[in-house]
Amino acid sequence: MKFIAHRINTAAELAGVPPEYGVELDLRDSGDKLILNHDPFGSGEEFSSYLKGYGHALLILNIKSERIEWRALDLLRERGIRDYFFLDSSFPMIHQLAEKGENNLALRYSEFEGLDTVLAMKGRAKWVWVDCFTRLPLDRKSHAALKDAGFKLCLVSPELQGRPGDIEPYREQLRREGLVFDAICAKLQNIPRWTR
């Protein structure tokens, strides 16, 4: 399983992440540049500069501006980065990317976002982002449906939804029910809590 450090939006933060971990970052446009910033209307480091220091595992690009994926792909290819996926792209953009053969895409599944859309994209997107706004939505049946369809699964650690106390209960539930994830996205300091 891969562990992904959440919201690593500066080169200084990236330098503090062990290379065996991946990172999730927030990508948006500012004029003709791609920058890293979770919030709108602010400044941020340039994505092209950030990538110069990238030597980590899976890269999750959380898309914060519409239609910037093509520019991001150019930069990823220039740096030879192949282990990545786009998160929170609009569905029209996901469809457009998939039509052009780009399948490093994540579809959302949660207690509010159903399996029907995800399964309709079987073979066209590689990843499912399993979010947990109020609870862990995955059970054995939905897990089997997603895995049988060939998807990789990335779990949102519950502290990203304001519930750090749920990490250990979720960890035990995954073990007890045999729910296997390919990646977990968590705050860097909480990753060790998943490996105990």
pLDDT in tens, 78-90: 999 999 999 999 9
How far is residue 185 from each of residues 154, 177, 189, measured CA to CA in Å?
7, 20, 11
Question: Which pLDDT value is given to residue 35?
Answer: 99
Rounded mean pLDDT, 97-121? 98
Question: Which pLDDT value is given to residue 67?
Answer: 97
Question: Which pLDDT value is given to residue 51?
Answer: 98
d(CA 74, CA 14): 21
d(CA 68, CA 139): 34
pLDDT in tens, 114-163: 999 999 999 999 999 999 999 999 999 999 999 999 999 999 999 999 99
d(CA 125, CA 4): 19
pLDDT in tens, 10-47: 999 999 999 999 999 999 999 999 999 999 999 999 99
**How does residue 167 score in pLDDT terms, banded at 50, 70 and 90?**
very high
Half-sphere exposure for 17 (CA within 13 Å, toward CB): 31
Place of tokens 């979720």: 170
Q: 3-state secondary structure string, 59-103? A: EEEEECCCCCHHHHHHHHHHHCCCCEEEECCCHHHHHHHHHCCCC
Predicted TM-score of the model (pTM): 0.97
Amino acid at 143: H
**How does residue 48 score in pLDDT terms, banded at 50, 70 and 90?**
very high
d(CA 120, CA 178): 25
Question: Which pLDDT value is given to residue 150?
Answer: 99
Rounded mean pLDDT, 48-77? 98
A 10 A CB-CB count for 181 gives: 18
CB 23 within 8 A of CB 48: no
Domains of the chain, each with CATH number or no CATH: 2-195 (3.20.20.190)
d(CA 23, CA 41): 23
Average pLDDT, the chain: 98
Place of tokens 């939505």: 137
Rounded mean pLDDT, 91-102? 98
pLDDT in tens, 110-123: 999 999 999 999 99
d(CA 83, CA 4): 12
